[in-house]
Structures are given as C-alpha cells and as structure tokens.
Amino acid sequence: MPNTTWTRHHILSLADFTTVEYDTVLQTAASFQEVLSRRTKKVPTLQGQVVANLFFEPSTRTRSSFELAAKRLSADTLNFASGTSSMTKGETILDTAKTYLAMGTDIMVIRHREAGVPNAIAQEMDRLGVHVSVLNAGDGQHEHPSQALLDLFTICTLLDPDNPRVELLKDKKIAIVGDILHSRVARSNIWSFTACGADVHLAAPPTLLPKLFADYGEDRPGKVFLHWELEPALQDADFVMTLRLQKERMTAHLLPSLREYHQMFGITRSKLQLCKPNVKVLHPGPVNRGVEISSELMDDPEFSLIQAQVTSGVAVRMALLYLIGSGKS
C-alpha cells in the first residue's frame, strides 16, 4: 500500500476533497487492483473488523460491491436492509446506527433516499466520541462519492495503467449527459472532475438541468459548462458519461417520450463521431438499453468502459475501506 498521510475519517462528500486525497485513493486502489489479479484475491488488512452495510434504500449492485470489497479485506460484514427491519417498528435512523455501533461496527456504509442522512449519522458518531467511520453509499440527490471515485479511477487507469493520477485529467473534456437534476452521481462527478482540472460539460433537457449547476465550477481548476442540446457537449469530448434515466420522470412531465429522449440525448456510435477519436463512454448502471445509450454501443469494447467501472468499483471500495478503517484499534 502507498505510504500515506490520510486523515479523513468519514467519506461523505467530494466537495472538499483535495488533489492529494484523490491521488491517494487512486494509488491505493491501484495496489488493490493488483491484489485482485492474483489467484488468492484476499488480504488480511481488516481482519476482525466489522463493516455494516446499512441500506435504507435497496441496491443489490452497490451493496454487493461493498460486501465483496469488505470480504476481500477479510472484514466481517453485516447487511441491514430496511423493510425487514425495526425501521418498520418506528425506530429512528440514528437509533439504528447507534445499535450497530454498540454491536461493534467499525465502518458503516450507508445508503438512504434522503440527502444528508450519512452526514447526520457521522456527526452523531463524532459527538459521541467513537471511532466508527461512515461512508456515504448514496444519499438522495446529494452525493455518491464511491461511484465518482471509481469513475475517476477507471478514467485515470485507462490513461496510464501503471500510474493513475490526478494530473492525467488536466484539460480533458468530459461530457455528462442525462438526468443531471436528480443525479447524486453527477454531483459527485462534477466535484471530482473539476478538482482534477477537467472541464465538465453537462447536457440535458432544460427541465433536468437548472442553471444553478454552473456554480459547481466556481473557483476550481476545471470549469462547468451547461448545454441544453447534446452536440456542443460531445464536440471534442474525451469521455462521455451517461446517466441513468429514472422512467418515473416521464410521469412527472419532465420528459417527452423515451423514444424522443433517446433521439435527442441518447448516446449512439454515430453521435460519438463528434468526440475525440479515442472517446470512451461510461455509465454508473444499471443501464436502460436503448434509452440513455444504444444497446450496441454499450456492448462495444472499443467505446464502453461500463464493465471496467464495475471492476474498478471493488478496488476503489477496498481502498476507501482501507483508508478509513486501517487505523482502527
């Protein structure tokens, strides 16, 4: 593992992440990516520690990724899913978290449909003076830091497999396309990409891209640009990040038909001709094939990084659990 001076105790938001922190995550994840290429893909780093996945909003994909990351660090895992839980009995979320604390949890991985829940739990843990760490695995429309970090790692690893690092993103153009308004992934991506010096071009229908998103780029090395059409965002882009479209949005009259949406903002191989020749496409998954992205493009290894993102996810989550967990007694 890289020699590091990591001091961050919780991972809640990327808004104030420093380039030194991004570089530490990238280097640590690269070390674990190497571990994952061995025959025995486990290390004893977190043996005897407990990682509790507290998922108040269901997600098999992200939960499995965190669970596998924890198991490969030899931690014990506990899974909490609301619905079968005492949440239905009226207990507060903070009480649930304190119960898992009292059982001996070292790291809480928290997903909740309301923004701010992981922060509130982290504050309460700090107030109590306990050593448990909180990792935000997606809170409402606020942030999804581990997803944005795996996106960053996927891109940097492509640019330099031997030494993924922040400076590789300098002056790159990254288009983020789709339902920006409701996307916690997009918000975390904007923080990380602009901090690393990439310019972020957001493209979406006006109903899904309010003007206030321009503020995200203020005083940061990379800038944020807003487009209510797809083409200027794709023009000379190095990377295109598509976002999942919640089909419920249509019923809220924020969108025309899915077919019309795909025609205007769906990414296809022909639309990619506007981009740089080596352009790559990312998507946080799960994908609505033929809506955000054409089915053939999704499966085309020349363009799609979607599978690489999932693989990076385990290495990056191992890195995050390691960085916030390895100092535990």
Q: How far is the CB of 235 from a second copy (least distance, A)?
A: 30
Q: How far is the CB of 152 from a second copy (least distance, A)?
A: 17
Q: Catalogue the long-range contacts made by 210-217 (C-beta closer than 8 Å, 24 or more residues apart).
A: 210/181, 213/180, 216/187, 216/190, 216/191, 217/190
- Residue whose CB is less far from a second copy, 247 or 269: 247
Q: How far is the CB of 320 from a second copy (least distance, A)?
A: 16
- Rounded to 5 degrees, φ, ψ at 61 are -65, -55
- Rounded to 5 degrees, φ, ψ at 97 are -60, -40
Residue 311 and residue 284 in contact, taking contact as beta carbons nearer than 8 Å: no
Q: How far is the CB of 21 from a second copy (least distance, A)?
A: 25
Q: How far is the CB of 289 from a second copy (least distance, A)?
A: 7
CA angle (192 as vertex; 14, 279 as ends), nearest 5: 150
Residue 161 lies near a second copy (rule: CB under 8 A)? no
- Residue whose CB is less far from a second copy, 125 or 195: 125
Residue 278 lies near a second copy (rule: CB under 8 A)? no
Residue 226 and residue 202 in contact, taking contact as beta carbons nearer than 8 Å: yes
> Which residues fall within 8 angstroms of residue 131, CB to CB, at 6 or more apart?
106, 328, 329
Site track for a second copy across 289-318, x = CB under 8 A: x-----------------xxxxx-xx----
How many chain residues touch a second copy (CB under 8 A)?
A: 58
> In the set 19, 31, 59, 326, which binds a second copy (CB under 8 A)?
59
Q: Which residues on adjacent β-strands are paired with residue 111?
A: 55
Residue 113 lies near a second copy (rule: CB under 8 A)? no
Buried b (16+ CB within 10 A) or exposed e, 219-254: ebbbebbbbeebebbbeebbbbbbbbbbeebeeeeb
Measured from the Cβ of residue 287, the count of other Cβ atoms closer than 10 Å reads 17
Cα(79)–Cα(189) distance, integer angstroms: 27
Q: Which residues on adjacent β-strands are paired with residue 224?
A: 200
Residue 287 lies near a second copy (rule: CB under 8 A)? yes
> In the set 16, 34, 103, 296, which binds a second copy (CB under 8 A)?
103
Considering only residues 217-276, where is the footprint of a second copy by CB under 8 A? 244, 247
> In the set 3, 5, 7, 40, which binds a second copy (CB under 8 A)?
40
Contact footprint for a second copy (CB under 8 A): 36, 38-42, 47-50, 52, 58-61, 64-65, 67-68, 71-72, 76, 78, 80-81, 83-86, 89-92, 95-96, 98-104, 244, 247, 285-289, 307-311, 313-314, 328-329
